[in-house]
Amino acid sequence: MQLADIEPGLQVVWDDSPSIDTRNKLSEKIDAFNARTVPFKFERFALLLQDAAVCLKGGVSGIIYWEWLFVDNLWIDDSLQRRGIGTELIKRAESHAITKGCHSAWLDTFQARGFYEALGYELFGMLDDYPAGQKRYFLRKRLIP
pLDDT confidence of residue 3? 58
Instruction: Say yes or no to pLDDT of 24 above 80.
Output: yes
Classify residue 108 by burial, with Cβ atoms within 10 Å: 0-12, 13-18, 19+.
middle
Residue-range domains of the chain with CATH: 41-142 (3.40.630.30)
User: How many other C-beta atoms lie within 10 A of the C-beta of residue 45?
Assistant: 14
Torsion-angle region of 93 (φ positive above 0: left; ψ -120 to 50: alpha; else: beta): alpha
28-46 tens-digit pLDDT: 998 888 878 887 778 999 9
Instruction: Say yes or no to pLDDT of 1 above 60.
Output: no
119-138 tens-digit pLDDT: 999 999 999 999 899 999 99
Instruction: Say yes or no to pLDDT of 11 above 90.
Output: no
